[in-house]
Amino acid sequence: MKLHELAGRAGSRKVRKRLGRGIGSGKGKTGGRGGKGQTARSGVRIKGFEGGQMPLHRRLPKRGFTSLTRDDVAEVRLSDLEKLAVAEVDLAALRSAGIVPQSALGAKIIVSGKLSRKLSVKGDVKASKGARAAIESAGGTVEVLEPKVEAKPKKDKKKPKPEAKGAEEGQKA
């Protein structure tokens, strides 16, 4: 056997179809794409079209939603506060320590880990019930600034409509 006698197995190499090369090739004129229209063009396909039937992605119910404010309030663990070198904890201190991202508008302390030192939590940093109890048991304090909610002015009840003049004259007579 010599190198020029080597050949691949039968069917291992397919001859590519030469589209649009004349009527004799069997794939001339439209090149195997059928007639005219959107599907005959290159690169364009109708995604999810089911021949006029309601498509599957529109038949199925929608589930859930993407919250736009999910990342506004960051979670802070008690173990993170243990490592923090500051005695007064507020949002600026958490941001500078890298515990909370710069984009966070607030933070909430959750119970995870232990706290053995005295801390003072102030400002936009809230704490869960368990975290508040853990901080206070360690000798610290939690002062949360509650947002001021102004009461909306109450609307006046509808006043009775004055009766028409013609109706009064009719009753007197």
For residue 51, is pLDDT > 90?
A: no
Q: What is the pLDDT of residue 85?
A: 87
Q: What does the pLDDT look like over 66-98, one tens digit per residue?
A: 888 888 899 999 999 998 888 899 999 999 999
- pLDDT score of 168: 57
Predicted pLDDT at 80: 92
What is the per-residue pLDDT across 105-114, written as a single tens digit (0 to 9) for each?
999 999 998 9
| pLDDT at 55 (0 to 100) | 92
Q: Can you give the pLDDT at residue 148?
A: 62
Give, in order, the Cα–Cα distances in Å from 46 to each of 34, 38, 43, 52, 172. Answer: 16, 8, 10, 12, 78
Each residue's pLDDT tens digit, 13-47:
998 999 999 999 999 999 999 989 888 888 877 88
The pLDDT of residue 109: 94
Q: What is the pLDDT of residue 3?
A: 94
d(CA 35, CA 33): 7
Given this model, what pLDDT does residue 139 score? 93
> Please, which residues bridge with residue 88 across strands?
120
Domain 73-144 sits in CATH 3.30.70.2740:
no
Model pLDDT for residues 107-160, shown as the tens digit of each residue:
999 999 899 989 999 988 999 999 999 999 999 999 987 766 666 677 777 777
